[in-house]
Structure 1
């Protein structure tokens, strides 16, 4: 009996997309085709691979008018924000621009006696397991450099956004990337684990939950398969007494609430210098009260439903527990009557919070943020580090030396100063602790998708 994947639209709870999952035999056949096609792909000139990938990216852009409402129906992001093509294109373009440098041999010696260098070799076949929250941008982080460096790619997308992989495959194949070199596949968890355990991939990149990352590592145990993991986050913002307050409030609250809080590096907790705390909170409340919760297909909507009812319920539970423990909610539910107890969830700001509350410790991944006053940098650093996660931290000050000094003490993958919730393709996208391991984008992203190969050539005896 064929198993199926179902995407339940958060707009109305209906089944929006249904696709059959590959059987183990068909999954193995897809792997075999990819491996057979990879060598010819890798033998093509680097510039040809770059041009084909960028042509595929442009073709995705041509589909944007169709993709944007599809995303709204699959995961709830309002159409007013126009989809993800800007970031999708930015990341792919940057990775294309540095490919020759990133993949160039490292020359050690070129003399009359010896030629010694370290080359970069593609792994062969890369599995990309992408999430639903930014489904195009997170996928392209790995897909573009993996293909450019000569790998074949199997893309397994989240069940909430099954059309994303189909659109990417449609675009890439239309411009001439061989169908077997880039395949969109629908796989169940057991089949995915079995493929990894069977040593079918040179590298696996997974973005998702901590539990999913554990499952990936367990499947790969003993196979020596390279794994890149971007897992949970509980990213903090810290507003110092010399910060530009208006810019800090606007950016941090947007970072907490955009996409209904469903951002990998979204702001989930904010620490504010005592002297600015009341003013910061008042401005934050004003911003949030200006949001409109509703149908993401309505251009006036600024806050759509969460991607799934169970995600919204987790945020409700964390918020209710915090309030029961003494936290004070500042957003009146009467301002957001569209909150239906299901996927549509109103935004909330909490004060009188502390780290005994799950809302300040566990990943919320929704439109709620706790704000605490702090007396100095030492207290802020201790609180920012008091987390099992370490993806990004956002520091707000006019003193770059101070920001760097604090950054050196933070357990995180990226330190922002006077910005937040942004993935810079020129920098390594990485994390520590339960956020995962490895790194994407930048030159390091290419190095993680290839293996070093040393050449020690003696010219004459």
Structure 2
């Protein structure tokens, strides 16, 4: 009997979409088609691959008016921000297409008379992309476009919460007339996904999700010698130095903490502020937070939508309650957000002070609209606290001293160091993490190295 996946909308708790999972025969057919198509695709000139990928990006953008409200129904982000994700999708897709000729070019060592030597970058085969719901277009495009540009085929398994995003990708490639079998969207449950990974019929798995999910991916791949890209959790810190532009820091850190209801791996979840400006920072931060409008994401006035589910909201509520019981102080009162209903997916943003690293809210990933703020007496104390985490995805330093930012950045255990900005992926830079935030690289020319393998040619032509 074929199982089904239900997409429960956080907007009203109803079933928004339902799809049957692929059966064993369909999975086998998809894997066979991917391998067959890739054998021909890898021989296509890079310019032809680029034409197909650009056409697919164009097709996706042509659907933007339908995608924005559809995204709100699926995962709760306010409709006013829907177009922003597609702008990011376009930026990343076009950048990775544009740099492909350089990134995939052969490596030519210094010439030696009588020999022709070079290193060719060859595609891996079939890449399985397991994408999350929180930024469903952005996270998926990070791998899909460069994988195809590198000569691979792609199978996409999108999150249950964003089933329709996978279908949008499939439709975009259909409109682009991509050769059949090269890109396929499959609806799969966890067991089916594990069987595909263990089958040795895919050569690379790129997963974005939780630390527990990453461990499951690695377990399924045991003994298969697969490439594995894992973008996992985050507990990203910010440090506001005494010389920071206070208004700029407050405005951007509030946004970095609460955009997408805090449901981002690189959301700012803990902030350390020089004690000399701490009172002013906290006062302005709380005041700006109170200006959010929590409500139905289909309403243009809404700036903060529901979390992805009531269970996700309750996890954050429990974190806040535990912190308060340990001595933390909440700066946002329930009277400020009438739409915050206990037990629902609608949760007001919260700012906590008097927090410590003994509290879950400062140690465990929240993935919701809550941030803790602590004063610090020195750069050294800030760095020690920033590094006191099992995660290391991104970190931000707020200062007007570039040299200090670079010096401190060298000491932070993280994949990306920001100065005076946060919560942004530059497609020209490597997106990666350390510690429990994962391994591997997407974006930038380095991202192509994880989607290809080296093949050396050592040809002696003078004997």
* TM tier, smaller: over 0.9
Residue 37 of structure 1, CA deviation: 0.7
Alignment of 1:279-428 (within 5 A): 279-341=280-342, 342-428=344-430
How far apart, in 1, do the equivalents of 2:411 and 2:65 lie?
45
Deviates more, 1:195-204 or 1:349-358: 195-204
How far apart, in 2, do the equivalents of 1:345 and 1:55 lie?
40
How far apart, in 2, do the equivalents of 1:159 and 1:446 lie?
28
Report if aligned partners of 1:109, 1:115 keep a CA contact under 8 Å in 2: no
Alignment of 1:16-165 (within 5 A): 16-83=16-83, 84-110=85-111, 112-165=113-166
Report if aligned partners of 1:28, 1:195 keep a CA contact under 8 Å in 2: no
How far apart, in 2, do the equivalents of 1:172 and 1:325 lie?
52
How far apart, in 1, do the equivalents of 2:445 and 2:276 lie?
42
Report if aligned partners of 1:381, 1:410 keep a CA contact under 8 Å in 2: yes
Q: Match of 1:354, SS?
A: coil
Match of 1:438 among 437, 440, 443: 440
Q: Match of 1:106, SS?
A: coil
How far apart, in 2, do the equivalents of 1:281 and 1:24 lie?
55
Structure 2 counterpart of 1:238:
239
Residue 457 of structure 1, CA deviation: 0.7
Report if aligned partners of 2:71, 2:82 keep a CA contact under 8 Å in 1: no
Runs of 4+ in structure 1 deviating by more than 2 angstroms, as ranges, are 109-112
Report if aligned partners of 2:37, 2:180 keep a CA contact under 8 Å in 1: no
Residue 253 of structure 1, CA deviation: 0.9
TM-score, normalized by length of structure 2?
0.98
How far apart, in 2, do the equivalents of 1:98 and 1:294 lie?
41
Residue 202 of structure 1, CA deviation: 1.1
Residue 266 of structure 1, CA deviation: 0.6
Q: Match of 1:96, SS?
A: helix
Residue 187 of structure 1, CA deviation: 1.0
Q: Match of 2:375, SS?
A: strand
Residue 81 of structure 1, CA deviation: 1.3
How far apart, in 1, do the equivalents of 2:444 and 2:357 lie?
35
Deviates more, 1:16-25 or 1:266-275: 16-25
Q: Match of 1:118, SS?
A: strand
TM-score, normalized by length of structure 1?
0.99
How far apart, in 2, do the equivalents of 1:82 and 1:308 lie?
19
How far apart, in 1, do the equivalents of 2:355 and 2:180 lie?
52
Structure 1 counterpart of 2:217:
216
Structure 2 counterpart of 1:458:
460
How far apart, in 2, do the equivalents of 1:290 and 1:192 lie?
42
How far apart, in 2, do the equivalents of 1:364 and 1:291 lie?
19
Unpaired stretches in structure 1, ≥5 consecutive residues: none
Over the aligned positions, Cα root-mean-square deviation in angstroms equals: 0.8
Residue 196 of structure 1, CA deviation: 0.9
Residue 111 of structure 1, CA deviation: 5.0
Alignment of 1:236-275 (within 5 A): 236-275=237-276
Structure 1 counterpart of 2:9:
9
How far apart, in 2, do the equivalents of 1:383 and 1:27 lie?
47
Residue 112 of structure 1, CA deviation: 4.7
Residue 109 of structure 1, CA deviation: 4.7
Deviates more, 1:56-65 or 1:111-120: 111-120
Matched pairs, number: 461
Q: Match of 2:109, SS?
A: strand
Structure 2 counterpart of 1:195:
196
How far apart, in 2, do the equivalents of 1:390 and 1:28 lie?
38
Q: Match of 1:409, SS?
A: coil
Report if aligned partners of 2:67, 2:82 keep a CA contact under 8 Å in 1: no
Residue 308 of structure 1, CA deviation: 1.2
